[in-house]
Amino acid sequence: MTTTMERTSAAPARTLRSTEQIPTSRIIGVELQKMFDTRSGFWLLVGGAIVSVIATIITAFADPHLSYGAFAAAIGAPLSIILPMTGILAVTSEWSQRTGLTTFTMVPHRGRVIAAKLAATMLVGLASIAIAFSVGALGNVIGSAVTGHHTVWDISIGNALTIFLADGLGMLMGFMLGVLIRSSSGAIVAYFVYALVLPAAFGALAAFQAWFRHAQGWVDFHDASTRLYDSGMGGSDWAHLAVAGLIWLVIPLAIGLFTLSRSEVK
């Protein structure tokens, strides 16, 4: 009787230890697979690639002043919307598809799962941005040859790095909204409010209120992050980005992680 009880009590301990030994790389691999398994995630990423090619073709024939910067801007505009959606769906899919119970049962440490989701999101984002840069470079070469223009490379390495950073911050914003709201529709609506409504409201307030005109850089994270697409970020620009990022990104993400770690998964 005692031996049977000892075996029964030991079984959960062995299960827990085996669960804790799941490598982080495997969890990241599973999260990457999840991002492509759902129809919404798959077509979102495929749509990003298609839009990049279409934007390249349009720029090659519609822009009279062809340059690498023109191709990068044309491709980056739709990606700045698509990539944050990827970050949102990477998190909210656990709740919208009702797979959270299975995920957090197999890996009970939610922090590891969320960290793996973040790593998978950033890997997809970096790969997407790198592919977009490559498509833009190819379009610049082919477009210049077809139209008879000189090939112009007007993006420096430093500017390319700040563009990577801007797109990465956009994905982090989407990821943060997914963690904080945990609803695909709610997080997507919140992102469009952040990206479209708030900049217009802040711009109108700055136009009519002098006190806010001087303070806008410290509280308008969208404006501070979009300055990364331009070359020549100054010290004050980096300070604005850090403070606004703390307000709009770091603190809400910390709140979202705190509530997520204590919320009930059904």
Q: Which residues contact 135 (CB under 8 A, 6 or more apart)?
A: 52, 53, 56, 71, 75
**pLDDT attached to residue 98:** 66
Instruction: Specify the pLDDT at position 5.
Output: 42
| CB 200 within 8 Å of CB 178 | no
Q: Which residues of 27-47 are buried (b: 16+ CB within 10 A; e: fewer)?
A: bbebbbebbeeeeebeebbee
Q: Where are the alpha helices (DSSP H) in the chain?
A: 2-20, 24-37, 39-62, 68-96, 100-106, 110-147, 157-181, 184-192, 198-208, 210-219, 221-226, 235-245, 251-262
- 177 three-class SS: helix
Pick the closest to residue 180 from 261, 121, 104 (CA basis): 261
What region, left, alpha or beta, does residue 239 occupy, with left being phi > 0 and alpha being psi -120 to 50 degrees? alpha
CA distance 183 to 185: 6
- The closest of 182, 204, 21 to 89, measured between CA atoms, is 182
Do residues 116 and 22 touch, judged by C-beta distance below 8 A? no
- CB neighbours of 196 closer than 8 A, spacing ≥ 6? none
231: its two tokens:
């070359």
End-to-end alpha carbon distance in the chain: 36
Residue with tokens 């217009």: 200
Beta-carbon contacts of 37 under 8 Å, excluding residues fewer than 6 positions away, are none
What per-residue confidence (pLDDT) applies to 109? 80
- CA–CA separation, 219 and 18 (whole Å): 46
pLDDT tens for the chain, residues 1 to 266? 444 444 444 445 444 454 456 888 888 888 888 877 767 667 777 777 788 788 888 887 776 677 888 888 888 778 888 889 888 988 887 776 666 667 777 777 888 888 999 999 899 888 888 888 888 888 888 888 877 777 888 888 888 888 889 888 999 999 999 999 988 889 999 999 999 999 999 989 988 888 888 888 899 999 888 888 876 788 888 999 999 999 999 999 999 999 887 777 66
Q: Of 127, 39, 46, 48, which Cα lies nearest the Cα of 81?
A: 48
pLDDT of amino acid 265: 65
pTM, entire model = 0.82
User: What residue segments make up the domains of the chain, in order of their start?
Assistant: 10-262
